């Protein structure tokens, strides 16, 4: 099949590649760019394991064609930490607040939460729950994921984090 | 004094055990650098596999024409039953699961052939080019279909005591009913995946996302017709398992291995999600027929519980699963005259399998449903009926004859939760609310969980570990358990770090491999830590004893004066680094590696005669849930949940609370939103998350409070901890009971016809049966 030339910025780096028009962004990222952080869960845009940030929006990369991402600015989980490897506030939050178990949803969940906190820097618990409702976690029951996001919001906002009493 | 304080207290302060340390892979998970099987770098020439399945549920294969498939672009090989050098059998035990169907098909999607191609896309496209013909037979889909044909996958089984039939006739309060319990799709976020690498000669390495690498090894060897020793099965981590990768990972591993053997290239098989949902088994669904006899005060005299399980087309693990539904059909209640019977019905649907709780949740739900009916019939508060029937002095024996020795834990735990959840005041408030609210109704329920810990097949209650201390003081930790997110690898590492008095970063947790630890049990039955944690502790103790003896002799110190702590070893007045001592031990020709083995004491179960002690101990818990239902739409909201759960002395409280919250929400999905719908042709119509509703963050209880019960395991488990993997699923029964309670408020005393899952549709039907719903 004829291939299309695409260029995009992924995690701050300009890349160019030839892709088939039917290639999905998730397959392009995982197989051609070797970025295996975003995972394949359902391939029908329901589970959110493949979530990446594209042009300042959370997208499910299993239902975006790679050619649609031509010229786009993309951030995956691999681009979340600082250049020196320091974890972002969200990465730290998910680690410290036990916001993960099997970890398979984690890259998509953090990538989604990253955009959520840009859209709404000080979300309520309810807003966090609604804001990540497009991402399935089958392990945690979400409580610790919500806490992880609260932890990160507090850190980014420079306010002390108080874990809700249980 | 706390109820469990009879157990020995740990004397010195613990440095690692009991701490809420983060998951051992947490840093890699948040970086996206933790590798699952589909993330492993693919060697040049890796081939991809797609499965061709049956379009019909029951029938004879007339033709299977694969010519167009073979000649499709990118196809390297097409494999059928004729290509299997060994046995065409991927079953865990009974020999009734062919890898590829040969003459007959028994469910929609059953594998007929596999396409091996240069790309996954080419393989999937080629599958569609098959030309096949079938002589169709009418399939059995429902419990009733199977009953009509009288077809089962395993013999019927029952146990009990006394004369329940007579007692039921004589009881002042007689109740009976029938209801259905739905199944559940695992929806592990990482679907089934295997990656097989051929070695020299017959050697085969299979990376399989499996809870049971040993079974993968055995099945691959059986299919390839080679000795077990030529196959290595390995898994670093799974993206969730929940029982769905206990027996049902083997088929995909074996197909990948056959393809690798055939092509001499690495071959990967990752099921597409829709295929995964159609081709792999689920939690068993049941019809329960029950009778209950009680005294006028609500104490149960007799019970007859008939569990009709829809097993699918083959036995798989149905013996253990349905046995466990029987073992838990008493939940926490003493049933003086009792019969628990079961049928393992054969239907032309995918073979149902292990799912967190392994039949226990269905048995327990049946009993709680009966208790709620009894409360309604006697006009008493359901919690009072529950407490009146708890195991107690003079009523300590289960229907299978095992004595419940620590029922005081159950009483103490429920009393504590009753107070902390403010049950009585909230009951009054809800009653008052319901009197004033015709359309929105609230319900409240506090239900207990008593879950037996051990494999009911006694031989599986063993664990093993292999620990190496290298001469630099770093530690290599292998054991037979697999990591699927539950934190097993972390807990076992904490135990080993504690034993050696070293920091966690000295320990390298290794992938589970049949080459390192052989003949393992599956990571299942919540027993992963009990078995493997104990085995690893024994290995570490053995190495430490040799290091201690060497240090004592070298420095002329009494071994009792040698202490391993904080990465140091105090040898009398002298202090050595742990690595320093390891190096000295090696120079002194001390063996710094140990393979160890642990078997659970006390468990014996004679199934044929239904006598013995199938469980080492019980894990307890209770949950109090409050819901609101809309009687016009059937919509339901979980307003508040309070959980108190018994994990013994927690090895890691954060991990345990995570298991409790996650298990509860998974149970909530099973009982309220997750609905498997098969049509009359046997096709699963809910084969993707678009139609199969899994809880998301906005579905969890508005107010969700979880606490650990304070008390040690009275049995001698590792650090007196208790298993936690499965029991919390059943805490969600409180939500189902609360929904029943809300509907019941429309017409107290009238039976509520509510099946599980209590979807809005199901709630609305029950509401209307009780004359509610605003007269529509």
Is A25 in CB contact (< 8 Å) with chain B? no
- For residue A15, the domain's CATH number is 3.10.20.30
Q: Among A15, A50, A79, give the residue marking a domain's end.
A: A79
Q: CA B740: distance to chain centroid?
A: 26
User: Which B positions 465-494 lie with beta carbon below 8 A of chain A?
Assistant: 484-487
A47 to chain B: nearest residue by CA? B689
Q: What band does A162 get if pLDDT is binned at 50, 70 and 90?
A: confident
DSSP track, B375-397: HHHHT--HHHHHHHHB-BTTB-B
Asked if the model's pLDDT at residue A138 lies above 70, the reply is: yes
Residue B178 inside a domain? The answer is no
User: Which B positions 587-646 lie with beta carbon below 8 A of chain A?
Assistant: none
pLDDT in tens, B101-156: 999 999 999 999 999 999 999 999 999 999 999 999 999 999 999 999 999 999 99
ipTM of the complex: 0.98
Best to test chain A binding among B30, B283, B491 (most A CBs inside 10 Å) = B30
Determine the pLDDT at residue A165. 42
Q: Backbone dihedral region of B156: left (phi > 0), alpha (psi from -120 to 50 degrees) or beta?
A: beta
User: Which B positions 232-261 lie with beta carbon below 8 A of chain A?
Assistant: 237-240, 242
Best to test chain B binding among A1, A78, A96, A102 (most B CBs inside 10 Å) = A102
Beta-bridge partners for B211: none
Count CB atoms within 10 A of the CB of residue A87: 17
Is B658 close to A96, i.e. CB distance below 8 A?
no
Q: Among A79, A99, A132, give the residue marking a domain's end.
A: A79
Is B689 close to A94, i.e. CB distance below 8 A?
no
Is B698 close to A133, i.e. CB distance below 8 A?
yes
Asked if the model's pLDDT at residue B423 lies above 70, the reply is: yes
- Smallest Cα distance from B427 to chain A, Å: 22
Is B586 in CB contact (< 8 Å) with chain A? no
Beta-bridge partners for B60: B104, B135
Token pair for B683: 């096709």
Q: Distance (Å, rounded) from C-alpha B494 to C-alpha A16?
A: 46
Asked if the model's pLDDT at residue B7 lies above 60, the reply is: no
**Residue A95: its chain B contacts at CB < 8 A?**
22-23, 26-27, 29-30
Strand order in the sheet with B636-645: B440-453, B617-630, B636-645, B703-708
Residue A29 inside a domain? The answer is yes
Structural domain tally of chain A? 2
| CB nearest to B658's CB, from A81, A106, A144 | A144
| CB nearest to B700's CB, from A105, A134, A141 | A141
The C-alpha R_g of chain A, in whole angstroms, comes to 16
Q: Among B599, B632, B663, give the residue marking a domain's end.
A: B599
| CB nearest to B272's CB, from A43, A134, A140 | A43
Q: B516-543 in b/e burial notation, b at 16+ Cβ within 10 A? A: bbbebbbbbbbbbbbbbbbbbbbbbbbb
- For residue A146, the domain's CATH number is 1.10.150.120
**Residue B282: its chain A contacts at CB < 8 A?**
none
Asked if the model's pLDDT at residue B2 lies above 50, the reply is: no
Determine the pLDDT at residue B1. 34
Same domain, A104 and A132: yes
User: Which A positions 36-65 lie with beta carbon below 8 A of chain B?
Assistant: 36-44, 46-47, 49
pLDDT in tens, B696-753: 999 999 999 999 999 999 999 999 999 999 999 999 999 999 999 999 999 999 999 9
Token pair for B439: 């359309």
Q: Distance (Å, rounded) from C-alpha B264 to C-alpha B340?
A: 52
Structural domain tally of chain B? 3
**Which residues lie closer than 8 Å to B327 by C-beta, 6 or more apart?**
B360, B363, B398, B400, B452, B456, B614, B615
DSSP state of B314: S
Determine the pLDDT at residue B12. 61
Query: Active site residue: B24, B499, B726, B762, which one?
Result: B726
Q: If 0-12 CB within 10 Å is exposed, 13-18 middle and 19+ buried, where does residue B646 land?
A: buried
Beta-bridge partners for B594: B467
A41 to chain B: nearest residue by CA? B189
Q: Which of B564, B153, B445 is nearest to B322 (CA)?
A: B153
* Mean of pLDDT values over B242-249: 98
Determine the pLDDT at residue B13. 82
Q: Which of A15, A18, A26, A16 is nearest to A2 (CA)?
A: A18
Token pair for B120: 């996954």
8 Å CB contact between B713 and B4: yes
Q: Distance (Å, rounded) from C-alpha B715 to C-alpha B7?
A: 8
Is A95 in CB contact (< 8 Å) with chain B? yes
- For residue B424, the domain's CATH number is 3.30.365.10
Q: Distance (Å, rounded) from C-alpha B575 to C-alpha B552?
A: 12
Determine the pLDDT at residue B487. 98
Residue A164 inside a domain? The answer is no
Q: Strand B300-312 vs strand B337-346: parallel, antiparallel, or unpaired?
A: parallel
Same domain, A97 and A70: no
Is B484 close to A145, i.e. CB distance below 8 A?
no
Instruction: Please tell me whether the overall predicted TM-score, pTM, comes out greater than 0.90 for this model.
Output: yes
Same domain, B134 and B199: yes
Best to test chain A binding among B28, B40, B118, B189 (most A CBs inside 10 Å) = B189
Structural domain for A52, as ranges? 4-79
Beta strands, E only, B537-658: 562-565, 568-571, 574-577, 593-599, 604-606, 611-613, 617-630, 636-645
Q: What band does A164 get if pLDDT is binned at 50, 70 and 90?
A: low
pLDDT in tens, B653-666: 999 999 999 999 99
Is A143 close to B661, i.e. CB distance below 8 A?
yes
Q: What band does B774 get if pLDDT is binned at 50, 70 and 90?
A: low
Q: Distance (Å, rounded) from C-alpha B610 to C-alpha B623?
A: 31
Beta strands, E only, B165-299: 173-181, 193-198, 204-208, 231-235, 267-270, 285-294
Residue A84 inside a domain? The answer is no
| CB nearest to B688's CB, from A44, A133, A135 | A44
Residue B657 inside a domain? The answer is yes
Residue A45 inside a domain? The answer is yes
Residue A163 inside a domain? The answer is no
* Mean of pLDDT values over A65-86: 98
Structural domain for B511, as ranges? 26-34+462-599
Same domain, B232 and B101: yes
DSSP state of A1: -
Residue B768 inside a domain? The answer is yes
8 Å CB contact between B757 and B672: yes
Same domain, A25 and A68: yes
Is A150 in CB contact (< 8 Å) with chain B? no
User: Which B positions 169-198 lie with beta carbon below 8 A of chain A?
Assistant: 186-191
**Mean pLDDT over all residues of chain B?**
96
Residue B675 inside a domain? The answer is yes
Asked if the model's pLDDT at residue B8 lies above 70, the reply is: no
Same domain, A16 and A69: yes
Q: SS3 letters for B60-88? A: EEEEEECHHHHCCCCEEEEECHHHCCCCC
Same domain, A46 and A103: no
Determine the pLDDT at residue B775. 52
pLDDT in tens, B67-100: 999 999 999 999 999 999 999 999 999 999 999 9
Is B189 close to A102, i.e. CB distance below 8 A?
yes
Is A127 in CB contact (< 8 Å) with chain B? no
| CB nearest to B704's CB, from A105, A106, A143 | A143
Q: What band does A117 get if pLDDT is binned at 50, 70 and 90?
A: very high
Q: Quick check: is B368 catalytic?
A: no
Q: Which of B30, B308, B330, B12 is nearest to B156 (CA)?
A: B308
């Amino acid at each position: 099949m004829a291939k299309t030339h695409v260029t995009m910025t992924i995690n701050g780096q300009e890349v160019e590649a030839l892709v088939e028009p039917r290639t999905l962004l998730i397959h392009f990222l995982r197989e051609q760019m070797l970025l295996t952080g975003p995972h394949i869960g359902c391939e029908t845009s329901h589970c959110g394991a493949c979530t990446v940030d594209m042009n300042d929006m959370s997208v499910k990369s299993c239902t975006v064609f790679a050619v649609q991402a031509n010229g786009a600015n993309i951030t995956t989980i691999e681009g979340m930490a600082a250049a020196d490897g320091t974890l972002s506030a969200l990465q730290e939050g998910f680690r410290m607040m036990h916001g993960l178990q099997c970890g398979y949803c984690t890259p998509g969940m953090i990538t989604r939460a990253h955009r959520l906190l840009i859209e709404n820097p000080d979300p309520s618990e309810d807003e966090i729950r609604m804001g990540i409702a497009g991402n399935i976690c089958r392990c945690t029951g979400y409580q610790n994921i919500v806490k992880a996001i609260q932890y990160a919001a507090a850190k980014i906002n420079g306010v002390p984090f108080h874990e809700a009493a249980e | 004094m706390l109820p469990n304080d009879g157990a020995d207290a740990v004397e010195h302060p613990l440095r690692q055990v009991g701490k809420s340390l983060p998951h051992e892979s947490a840093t890699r998970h948040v970086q996206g650098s933790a590798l699952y099987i589909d993330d492993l770098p693919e060697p040049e020439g890796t081939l991809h596999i797609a499965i061709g399945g049956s379009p019909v549920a029951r029938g004879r294969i007339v033709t299977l024409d694969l010519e167009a498939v073979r000649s499709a672009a990118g196809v390297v090989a097409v494999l059928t039953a004729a290509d299997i050098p060994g046995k065409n059998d991927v079953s865990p035990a009974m020999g009734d699961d062919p890898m590829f169907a040969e003459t007959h098909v028994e469910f929609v999607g059953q594998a007929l052939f596999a396409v091996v191609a240069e790309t996954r896309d080419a393989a999937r496209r080629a599958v569609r080019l098959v030309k096949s013909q079938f002589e169709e037979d009418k399939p059995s889909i429902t419990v009733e279909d199977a009953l009509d044909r009288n077809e089962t996958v395993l013999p019927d089984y029952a146990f009990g005591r006394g004369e329940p039939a007579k007692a039921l006739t004589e009881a002042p309060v007689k109740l009976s009913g029938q209801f259905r319990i739905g199944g559940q799709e695992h929806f592990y976020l990482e679907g089934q995946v295997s990656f097989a690498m051929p070695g020299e000669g017959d050697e085969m390495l299979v990376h399989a996302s499996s809870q049971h690498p040993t079974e993968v090894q055995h099945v691959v060897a059986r299919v390839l017709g080679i000795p077990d020793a030529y196959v290595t099965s390995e898994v670093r981590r799974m993206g969730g398992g929940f029982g769905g990768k206990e027996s049902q990972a083997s088929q995909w591993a074996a197909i990948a291995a056959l393809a690798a053997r055939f092509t001499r290239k690495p071959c990967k098989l990752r099921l597409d999600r829709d295929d995964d949902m159609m081709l792999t088994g689920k939690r068993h669904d049941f019809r329960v027929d029950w009778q209950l006899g009680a005294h006028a005060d609500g104490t149960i005299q007799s019970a007859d519980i008939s569990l009709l399980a829809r097993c699918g087309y083959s036995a798989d693990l149905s013996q253990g699963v349905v046995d466990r539904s029987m073992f838990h059909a008493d939940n926490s209640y003493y049933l003086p005259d009792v019969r628990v019977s079961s049928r393992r019905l054969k239907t032309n649907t995918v073979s149902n399998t292990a799912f967190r709780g392994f039949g226990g949740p269905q048995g327990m739900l049946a009993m709680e449903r009966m208790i709620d009916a009894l409360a309604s019939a006697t006009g008493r508060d359901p919690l009072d009926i529950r407490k009146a029937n708890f195991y107690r002095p003079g009523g300590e024996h289960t229907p299978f004859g095992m004595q419940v020795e620590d029922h005081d834990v159950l009483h103490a735990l429920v009393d504590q939760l009753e107070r902390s959840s403010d049950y009585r005041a909230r009951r009054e408030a809800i009653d008052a609310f319901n009197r004033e609210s015709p359309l929105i109704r609230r319900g409240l329920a506090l239900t207990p969980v008593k879950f037996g810990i051990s494999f009911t097949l006694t031989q599986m209650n063993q664990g093993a570990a292999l620990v190496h201390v290298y001469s630099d003081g770093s530690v290599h930790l292998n054991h037979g358990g697999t990591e699927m997110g539950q934190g097993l690898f972390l807990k076992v590492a904490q135990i080993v770090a504690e034993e050696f008095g070293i920091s966690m970063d000295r320990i390298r947790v290794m992938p589970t491999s049949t080459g390192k630890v052989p003949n393992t049990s599956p990571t299942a039955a919540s027993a992963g830590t009990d078995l493997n944690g104990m085995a690893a502790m024994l290995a570490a103790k053995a190495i430490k004893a040799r290091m201690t003896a060497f240090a004592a002799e070298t420095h002329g110190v009494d071994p009792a004066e040698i202490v391993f702590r904080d990465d140091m070893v105090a040898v009398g007045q002298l202090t050595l680094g742990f690595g320093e001592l390891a190096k000295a031990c090696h120079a002194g020709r001390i063996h710094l590696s140990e393979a160890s083995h642990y078997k659970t004491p006390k468990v014996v179960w004679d199934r044929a005669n239904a006598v013995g002690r199938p469980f080492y101990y019980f894990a307890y818990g209770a949950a109090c849930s409050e819901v609101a239902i809309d009687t016009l739409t059937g919509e339901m909201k979980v307003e508040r949940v309070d959980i108190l759960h018994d994990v013994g002395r927690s090895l890691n409280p954060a991990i345990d609370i995570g298991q409790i919250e996650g298990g509860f929400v998974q149970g909530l999905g099973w009982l309220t939103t997750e609905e498997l719908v098969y049509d009359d042709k046997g096709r699963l119509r809910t084969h993707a998350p678009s139609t199969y509703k899994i809880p998301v963050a906005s579905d969890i209880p508005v107010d969700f409070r979880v606490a650990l019960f304070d008390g040690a395991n009275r049995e001698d488990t590792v650090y007196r901890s208790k298993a936690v993997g499965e029991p919390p699923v059943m805490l969600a029964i409180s939500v189902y009971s609360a929904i029943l309670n809300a509907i019941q408020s429309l017409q107290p005393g009238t039976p509520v016809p509510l099946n599980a899952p209590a979807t809005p549709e199901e709630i609305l039907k029950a509401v209307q049966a009780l004359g509610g719903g605003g007269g529509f």
